[in-house]
Structure 1
Amino acid sequence: MSDTKKTEGLRPGWQPGQSGNPKGRPKGSRNRVTVVALAAMEEGADAIARKVVDMAKQGDMSAARLVLERLVPPAKERPVYLELPDMDTAAGIAEAQQAVLQAVADGELLPGEAATLAGIVEARRKAVETLELEQRITALEGKK
């Protein structure tokens, strides 16, 4: 066995395990391969876009779908206008739930929109229920 130590090949003043760059890579800096790939894509982006549009015009449905997805992104939400009754009572909340159900049945609301509205009506129901329970408890405590 050799008596040489592993530290002989190190630069003077450096200890084993000590980094040559203690601050590390600067935040936001990109890997060299990523920078090269992005530059290559930017260089040919116009030509690629034209080719995809040409393919879509020739009937390539995959290319057409790609073009449409980029030009017209799917709508996430839309405003909903629905006349709801006063929801200060349990009867009013039941009427509101019926109105939401009827709007779906009539095709005025999509099922996902109705689910969102039903969640809002349910939150209102819980609030009214909590308020009524609080009033009843206060009344019972006042009788004692």
Structure 2
Amino acid sequence: MADAKPKGRNRKGQFAPGNTGRPKGARHKATLACEALLDGEVEKLTRKAVDMALAGDVQAMRICMDRIAPPRKDRHVSFDLPKIEGAGDHPTVLAAIMGAVAQGSLTPMEGQALAAMLAEHRKAIETSEIEARLVALEASHGQ
């Protein structure tokens, strides 16, 4: 039995080495019990929630609206952005992003996400330039 994987936790509450935990797709007993209770009742419950919402129950309205139109996590952003041909264009582009945030065309979080993308673009340019310089340097030294 030396090949058996250790199960459970040690005295510190940590999983023993080799314990892979619950298999993929396995569900908790409580989840299975809830599904068994709701089996065949989903349509009735949905109708009841809608009826309660229509009767003015604010919580039921919130539940229904969250299902109909969930809160948006992301949206398509459209605004004029200067052309980016190199790292030298980045200050102008960042100013355009900040201006769009100031005007309300972009939320601050959207502006921050675009600025982060711009920073990644700059890193890619720098990496490419360093690689080109390294290749040229190695070629000039005959390597």
TM-score scaled by structure 1? 0.62
Note the C-alpha offset of 1:111: 1.8
Instruction: Provide structure 2 residue ranges, at least 5 long, that are not aligned to the other structure.
Output: 1-23
1:104-140 deviation digits (Å, cap 9, x = unpaired):
1111112222122111111111222334445556677
Superposition pairs for residues 105-124 of structure 1, below 5 Å? 105-124=102-121
Separation of aligned partners in 1, 2:63 and 2:118: 39
Question: RMSD across aligned C-alpha pairs, in angstroms?
Answer: 3.3
1:63-108 deviation digits (Å, cap 9, x = unpaired):
1101111111222322222322232333311111111111111111
Superposition pairs for residues 2-21 of structure 1, below 5 Å? none
Higher RCO structure (Cα 8 Å, ≥6 apart)? 1
User: Are residues 1:101 and 2:104 paired?
Assistant: no
User: Are residues 1:41 and 2:72 paired?
Assistant: no
Note the C-alpha offset of 1:31: 9.1
Aligned pair count reads: 118
Query: Which structure has the bigger radius of gyration?
Result: 1
Instruction: Provide structure 1 residue ranges, at least 5 long, that are not aligned to the other structure.
Output: 1-26
Q: Could you say which residue in structure 1 is the equivalent of 2:62?
A: 65
Q: Is the 8 A contact 1:88 1:128 kept in 2?
A: no
